[in-house]
Structure 1
Amino acid sequence: MTNEALSRRERQIMDLLFRMKEASAEEIRESMEDAPSNASVRTLLRILAEKQHIQYRTVGNKYLYSPATPTKEAGQSALNRVLDTFFGGSATQAVATMLSRKEISEQELDELQTMINKAREEGR
């Protein structure tokens, strides 16, 4: 997958494909808010394929599109970009920002503590 920036509509399609796993152009268009024309969706899919963000396969007379990168790997890559861009690469600053949110639950705090303890045990 290339590091080319995605337009708003390209990002919208990628988000849908990560959720849907695989979909036709029509299924994607039907799932989009304020959906563009069918031709526009197909053009965006062609562009995403050229940028190597998606792949497709033929089933009968239709194409089924899916992300070229597994969701977890794409999420890790996106998170690394956010860390670098907004937090100078510091996971500590990112977590501190998240912890300053008022809506974080006790359960989430417990889960974070468990992850921290596990990382310490593993020597990370």
Structure 2
Amino acid sequence: MPQTSTETYSKKERQAMEVLYRLGQATVAQVQAELSEETNYSAVRALLGVLVDKGLASVVKADGARHYLYSPKEPVHKARKGALRKLLATFFDDSPAELAMNLLDPAQNKISVEELEKLQQMIDAHRANQKN
């Protein structure tokens, strides 16, 4: 079973996974081009191999090509939920309200009217489900 906790990632592994999630699938050269620091091809190939060994990524040979394509093993929505649970536990004492208050702090963030409306709809729907 893939490990989903951010504790299982080194900084480089996390960066590579971010690239894979953003692109959906990528070659070693594509991941190398996306990494913020200069990293050689062999190091990126080894890094992606570690992610495959940990069960975080999968690899297949591209049809009719010599290169391999790497992709995240779990869907992005599942990874987001795991990362959010870890974020809540680590920084917000498992309190969604504390997280929301930090997100809504006007001194820290600018949230569009559309995003505020969407948040309000979600809060209203959650409140209605709590009453039922």
> Aligned equivalents of 2:74 and 2:38: distance in 1?
24
Question: What residue in structure 1 maps to residue 69 of structure 2?
Answer: 64
Partner amino acid for 1:71?
V
> Aligned equivalents of 2:70 and 2:38: distance in 1?
17
Where do 5+ consecutive residues of structure 2 fail to align?
none
Deviations along 1:60-106, one digit per CA (max 9) or x if unpaired, are 32210000110111011000100011111111111111111432233
Which of 116, 120, 123 is equivalent to 2:123?
116
Partner amino acid for 1:67?
P
Question: What residue in structure 1 maps to residue 14 of structure 2?
Answer: 11
> Aligned equivalents of 2:106 and 2:91: distance in 1?
16
Question: What residue in structure 1 maps to residue 32 of structure 2?
Answer: 29
Deviates more, 1:79-88 or 1:29-38: 29-38
> Aligned equivalents of 2:106 and 2:77: distance in 1?
24
**SS at structure 1 position matched to 2:70:** strand
How many aligned residue pairs are there? 124
Deviations along 1:17-71, one digit per CA (max 9) or x if unpaired, are 0010001111111222223000000110011111111011112322100001101
Deviates more, 1:114-123 or 1:70-79: 114-123
Which of 73, 78, 91 is equivalent to 1:86?
91
**TM-score, normalised on structure 2?**
0.86
* Identity over aligned pairs, percent: 31
**SS at structure 1 position matched to 2:59:** strand
> Aligned equivalents of 2:38 and 2:18: distance in 1?
14
